Amino acid sequence: MQHKILSEISEKDFDLFRSLVKREVGIFIRQEKRKLLGLKLSRRLQDLGLSSYFDYYHYILKPEGAKELQRLVNIITIDQTSFFRGEKQFEILRKRILPEVIQRKIEKKRIRIWSSGCSTGQEPYSLAMLIYEMDNVDMSWDIKILATDANTRSLKIAYLGRYRGDQVAEVPPAYLTKYFHKESRGGEEVFRIKESLKKTLIFRRLNLLMSINQLKGPIDLILCRNVMIYFDSATKKKVTDQFYNLLGPKGCLCLGLSESLFGIDDRFALIGRAIYRKKG
């Protein structure tokens, strides 16, 4: 379908969408993003045959608009990610955090990890590879990595576990051979996660703003990297509270490299590169 650019989104309509997005997924859209948001929404408006942003807003709010609200979430969330993103952090996980978890679990051989805001899957798959490369761990361990996100389009990609050559550039060659099938699709090389690794992951749509009572702890390690950056302090506190309650004793919470719990929650101790350990 041909998309013509609608007139710019007005300040008033921008504020409506801004509040809606903040309420639904906690993301604060900065004023500078007004034109960009308008542009992103205008395509959808035209597909629906609507002529104004205001009509689209009310379309979403109708009882039958729930699906459209999910579409909006898919449009506005930022899915940027990569394998082994935050290399220095992965080093700490490999050298310190995971060996400690494995030591604690050496008898039960059971590990629970949550990648909350997993986007298109590179983060939880990286973790899974890292774990199976650790000493004393093999495929007989009961390891589950819960991979969740509010964006259903990203989750679908994560579930497929199929990546282009440029997307696996950060994956060590030995891991590529061990954990991926190399295939050809339409003349292009693609890398598909092997089933043996994939079965470690459980994919689920989960909005961090909603109550996460349905999740069962204790969890050994939670990753929430580059997700809360657009949340305000009160929302960060609420989400962190839920993490605190789900983590087991000595459980760790890993944030994005530019994020911090300073002024948010002092029940965690910083142990390195935006990695926190539950105190007590």
Ligand X SMILES: C[S@@+](CC[C@H](N)C(=O)[O-])C[C@H]1O[C@@H](n2cnc3c(N)ncnc32)[C@H](O)[C@@H]1O
Site string for ligand X, 53-82 (x = CB under 6 A): ------------------------xxxxx-
The nearer residue to ligand X, 61 or 78, going by C-beta atoms, is 78
Q: Which of 25, 145, 246, 252 binds ligand X (CB under 6 A)?
A: 25
Q: How far is the CB of 57 from ligand X (least distance, A)?
A: 20
Convert 136-174 to b/e letters by CB count within 10 Å (16 or more is b): ebeeebebbbbbbbbbebbbebbeebbbeeebbeebeee
- Within 10 angstroms of residue 113's Cβ, the number of other Cβ atoms is 24
How many Å apart are CA 166 and CA 172, to the nearest integer?
A: 13
Closest CB to ligand X among 50 and 147? 147
| Helical segments of 26-64, H only | 34-48, 53-61
Closest contact distance (angstroms) between CB of 109 and ligand X is: 27
HSE of 225, CA atoms in CB hemisphere, 13 A: 31
- 169 binds ligand X, rule: CB under 6 A: no
- Interface with ligand X (CB under 6 A), residue from 42, 70, 89, 151: 151
Q: Which residue from 75, 76, 82 is spatially nearest to 164, judged by alpha carbons?
A: 82
Q: Which is nearer to ligand X, 154 or 240 (CB)?
A: 154
Q: What is the size of the binding site for ligand X (CB under 6 A)?
A: 23
Identify which of residues 141 and 191 has a Cβ nearer to ligand X in the complex: 191
Closest distance of CB 39 from ligand X, Å: 19
Contact status: 215 vs ligand X (CB under 6 A): no
Span interacting with ligand X, options 47-55, 93-101, 149-157, 166-174, rule CB under 6 A: 149-157
Under the binding rule (CB under 6 A), the answer on residue 253 touching ligand X is: no
Single out the residue of 34, 59, 49 nearest to residue 4, CA to CA.
Answer: 49
CB 213 within 8 A of CB 182: no
> In whole angstroms, how far apart are CA 45 and each of 3, 6, 20, 54, 210?
10, 9, 17, 10, 27
The residues of the shown chain that bind ligand X, judged by CB under 6 A, are: 25-27, 77-81, 85, 117, 119, 123, 149-151, 154, 207-209, 225-227, 256
